[in-house]
Amino acid sequence: MKAAVLTEGYNAVISGDAVSALIADRLDKVATRAPTALREAARAHLSAQSKKIRGRLAFAVLNEGTYDETLALDWATAVEVLHNASLVHDDLCDRDTHRRHQQTIHKRFGDAVAICLGDYLIATAYETCALLKPSLIGKASESIRTLASGQAGEFTNAGYPDWEIYQAIAIQKTAPLLALPITGGADILDIPISSTDAAHYFNNSALCFQILNDLGNFSGTDGANNPCSDLANGRPNAVLACFKDLLSRESQARFDLWTDRIRSGELIADTVETRQWWHKVRQSYAFADTSQRLHFHFNEASKSLFKLPPPIRAAIVPLQQWLAKEVTRVQQQGGRCKILT
């Protein structure tokens, strides 16, 4: 399961080019200050074009509180650095060869450099958190612990994940660094925020992001190496989790065995076998079921959003508007992306 990738549509909702440019400049400084052995890798990863969604959220919530712009950028940079660390390690775990239209760090510089770069970025983010407000270190640490648990869950569960297991992995991998910009910003501004309402919003919005990303995997628009790569590699995917739940016990057992053998390296999915499963997925109600779950979690996120304090809600609203646009697009397509035939 790749980290959720947000598309160009978000830019139409949030006009943040200037903020993105400021964050990009800060990231360039982070790369410049990296140890000599990591500097080239840091520059390669941090200079790649990205939406900087989490950094924009961090900046937006402090901007709502009329906070000092320099400190708002410090917080935005810390969040983006943590996110980029997670991407470096995620690509290594998934053995992905490309991200943001260029080679991943482990592919270009080797596994050891990828591990060390991710660690360097995490340490750098913690340092910024400590300077801004010591309590942020605890929030950042909790986010990384939860994310690491979700990442490990992809590789420690026997069989292909059903919806319940998929949902837990998706939330743990995506929600922490979506929530951190906002909950950390609220901490900096001393704005009381219900942890229950915040968790409910970000858990559901994280599922929306991941479901959208998983639908995109079938059209090759999620940044993966090839269309349907989640199926071919046995990775968690919302569509495939729904598909498994629709199978008979006997078919579930066959699907579990096939994906386990792929993940263990015992079997390389040949084109014929992958296409056979793909044909079964297309003939099932998996896409329609996934679309219904997407709509449900979007509605749940919307309910929680209006329970959050006004400054927090104002910072998140553009994100929710983007989600609304994407959910509507999926519904208009009957739950399907333009998929591989």
pLDDT of 4 higher than 60: no
Helix axes 310-332, 286-305, angle to 10 degrees: 160
In terms of C-beta density within 10 A (0-12 exposed, 13-18 middle, 19 or more buried), how is residue 249 classed? exposed
> What is the rounded average pLDDT of the residues 291-318?
93
9-332: CATH superfamily = Farnesyl Diphosphate Synthase (1.10.600.10)
Q: Cβ distance 245 to 162 under 8 Å? A: yes
Q: Cβ distance 77 to 55 under 8 Å? A: yes
> What is the rounded average pLDDT of the residues 128-150?
95
Question: HSE (CB half, 13 Å, CA atoms) of 310?
Answer: 1
The token duo for 22 is 């400021």
Q: How far apart are CA 86 and CA 173, in angstroms?
A: 9
**Residue written as tokens 């959220």?**
57
What's the pLDDT at 153? 86
User: pLDDT digits over 169-188, tens only?
Assistant: 999 999 999 999 999 999 99
pLDDT of 5 higher than 60: no
What's the pLDDT at 224? 53
Phi, psi torsion values for 242, nearest 5 degrees: -65, -40
Helix axes 69-94, 135-156, angle to 10 degrees: 20
Of 4-13, 93-102, 188-197, 209-218, the one with minimum mean pLDDT is: 4-13
Mean residue pLDDT of the chain comes to 88
pTM of the model: 0.88
